[in-house]
Amino acid sequence: MDRVLFLCTGNSARSQMAEAFLRKYGGDRFEVHSAGLEPKGMNPFTLRVMQEVGLGLEGQTSKGIDIYLGKLLFQHLITVCDDAEKKCPSTWPGITRREHWSFEDPAAFEGPDEEKLARFRIIRDQIEARVRQWLTLEH
């Protein structure tokens, strides 16, 4: 079973969503994890928009890459934000495939809560589509 790590800056939104969608659609074909370069805790809007599509994030927590580096081998590393792609270690033992999926940071959006929620929904749907495409094309 391949291990997949989704990496972003805060591990509060995008990487958490990607982890949940790959668990849903990838079944038992993958062991899925997510982490952040500077973990910030789970964003409440992330929890809300994922619950809207029937995915609770029980068991998922915001964590740093240090819990994995040198301790667990991953076959796939997928960065889901431009900042993480720039700052991610260039070599990572065990990685056979490294990809970058650029998604806007919904947590950076400034505005009323309803507009923030709408932004989170857009990013959620983009991530779901990308995970499904990744599974169809390559796995």
Which token pair is 12?
Answer: 């509060």
Q: Which candidate in 18, 47, 77, 81 is catalytic? A: 81
* 8 is known as an active-site residue: yes
Q: Which candidate in 57, 88, 95, 135 is catalytic? A: 88
* 29 is known as an active-site residue: no
Q: Which candidate in 4, 8, 49, 107 is catalytic? A: 8
* 81 is known as an active-site residue: yes
As annotated, the active-site residues are 8, 81, 88
